[in-house]
Structure 1
Amino acid sequence: MNKRTQALAAAFQFLSRFPVKAQLDYTPDLFRQSTRFYPLVGAAIGAVVWCFAAAVSYLLPPLPAAVLILALWVALTGGLHLDGWMDTADGLLSYKSREQMLEIMKDSRVGAMGVLACVLLLLLKTSLIYSLLTGGWPPLMILLPPIWSRWFMVHAMASWPMARGKEGLAGKNFNGMEKRHSLLAVPGAALLTGIIAALFPWLRIGDFTFLQAGLSWLVLPVAAWAVGTWAARRMTRKLGGLTGDTYGALNEGIETVLLLVLVIIQYRL
């Protein structure tokens, strides 16, 4: 297995629960090289979610369909990013000192703030998926949020310091990420977005018009960068950098914001 294939397998094994059976030597270099394939993992998750959404929305009303779709979405990641969202909420919303926040985030137990943040996030995501389903078949644009949210994780690793230095999973394996790693992930995300754009005129799945679809392809990458940058800067000011938990939190938050943007485009334009 060549290095590129190993990096691809590592990305799928680390970020998803797809059955990728490969014996890999997980070195920091392999972790860093695998980040170029993070958008592809997002696209694979989005594709499975979309196919399931198409089937379940045909059989069920929008609300129970939305709940089942989100359950699958979480299952495909093993709850990895959702765990980061909860730990980050526990730390940042404790309003303690930087050191105490980082210590709280290391605790495997979930606190009240983490539970509240998780419940509210899942409720919002469910309502957004429900809104996208009310027009009938799920729109192809639902594939875009998981692509660009995972690209931003790579961008965040390369752009902001590690809060714990070389400690922790992120510090040991992603410390030393450079801008080139982030740039290597851009062509994949852009190509996948282009493929979705190319499929749209033939498939015309969902109730999005050509104008709405075009705005989605243009606005969602910019929204992912803008919202992610704002959140990453605020986290860095409070924590002195980012951690593995905050990368997961950024992914969850950006996915949700991009779903919100899709709903606004669908209903207001």
Structure 2
Amino acid sequence: MRKIGILNALIIYFQFFTRIPINKMFKDPQREFNRGMQYLTIFGLVLGVIEAAIFYLVTFLFPVWFAWILILIFDGILTGGFHLDAVADTADGMFSSRSADKIHAIMKDSRLGTMGALALIFYYISMIGCAVIISQHFGVLTNVLLVAITIMNTKTGISLVFFNIKNADAENGLLKSWGHISKGKMLFDIGVFLIVTGAALGLKGLIAAILSFLFVPVYKNWIYKRIGGFTGDTVGAFADIYQVIFLLSFLVVIRLWILF
């Protein structure tokens, strides 16, 4: 398979994951998406740096904790709530206590259900709660770095889920469109994530990143047990869930570091 250059990969990911208008056409965008998956974390880093820069500017006008809230709003606007829609759909389906076929039908329903609404509320409460704690214990620079890392790891999370993924619908679903990520591409994504996280947040951040990896098989096994494989919604949902997992892991590491 022909490799895609990093610039084209970044362009196609900005077109896919954000509302930033980039006027470049690809003959087969889904195929190009799969070819460049080793650059998912790098794309996440670029997006994270953009949002972190805006976050930094906002801190000149507002307290750091409020800057976190504003950047969450900005991220939703910039990405069109791309992964948030998946979080809601996944929650509606997976917590419906129905059969696998019924869960698929619920996730395809565009209407927002009770569990989907609760999932979005819980997501924002968790993110804002972590942000308030972080803003109270760390300076502006650390908060800026955490914004960049947190945005970056949404795309690392997608890479981790795509490795050895099982599709819920082999004929028409996710793998039919995108295929899966190879071991080499996944290791490259993980390597970039760990290097950047370690450089930005030091040993504590690196430990938190490694701890967050432990949640990946838990999530994948839960999806397989409930519906037999992944859909686009269950992959997208993990991206935002992984943000919360990383921030919670970081706070746990900091707490244990202080205690011991």
**TM-score, normalised to structure 1's length?**
0.83
90, 101, 104: which one pairs with 2:103?
101
2:170 to 165, 169, 178: 165
- Distance of aligned partners of 1:132 and 1:17 in 2 relative to their CA distance in 1, 3 Å threshold: farther
Counterpart CA distance in 2 for 1:165 and 1:180 is 23
Aligned pairs for 1:132-171 within 5 A? 132-134=134-136, 135-139=138-142, 140-168=145-173, 170-171=174-175
The Cα shift of 1:231 comes to: 0.8
Structure 2 partner of 1:17: 19
Structure-2 change in CA distance of 1:93 and 1:10 (3 Å)? same
- Tell me: CA distance 1:69–1:86, structure 2 relative to 1, closer, same or farther (3 Å): same
Retained in 1: the 8 A contact 2:208–2:250? no
- 2:46 equivalent among 27, 44, 47: 44
Report what 1:189 is aligned to: 193
Give 1:53's aligned amino acid: F
Deviation at 1:80, TM superposition (A): 0.8
Q: Cα distance, 1:149 vs. partner? A: 3.3
Deviates more, 1:146-155 or 1:229-238: 146-155
Gaps of 5+ in 1: 201-211
Residues 86-122 of structure 1 show CA distances to partners (whole Å, capped at 9, x for unaligned) of 1000000001001100111111111111011101111
Cα-Cα RMSD: 2.3
Given candidates 26, 35, 41, the residue that maps to 2:37 is 35
What do residues 116-168 of structure 1 show as CA deviations (whole Å, max 9, x unaligned)?
11011111111212222224415123322333332231221222201122324
Residue in 1 that maps onto 2:247? 259
1:227-267: CA deviation from partner (whole Å, max 9, x where unpaired): 12211111111110111101111111111111122233445
Between 132-141 and 94-103, report the one with greater CA deviation.
132-141
Q: In 2, distance between residues paired with 1:184 and 1:3? A: 15
Between the two proteins, the alignment pairs up a number of residues equal to 251
Deviates more, 1:82-91 or 1:184-193: 184-193
SS in 2 for 1:21: coil
Alpha-carbon distance in structure 2 between the residues aligned to 1:143 and 1:53:
9
Match of 1:90 in 2: 92
Change (3 A) 1:96 1:237: same
Aligned to 1:234: 222
- Of the candidates 239, 245, 253, which is equivalent to residue 233 of structure 2? 245
Describe the superposition over 1:173-202 as per-residue Cα deviations: whole angstroms up to 9, x where unpaired. Answer: 2235433442343343345346xx1xx5xx
Q: Does the 8 Å CA contact 1:81/1:248 hold for their aligned counterparts?
A: yes
Structure 1's 263 and 186: CA in aligned 2 closer, same or farther, altered over 3 A?
Answer: closer
1:9 aligned partner, one-letter code: I
Distance 2:76 2:254 in 1: 24
Distance 1:179 1:146, change over 3 A: same
Q: 1:58 to 1:234 in 2, by over 3 A?
A: same
SS at match of 1:58: coil
Q: 1:217 to 1:107 in 2, by over 3 A?
A: same
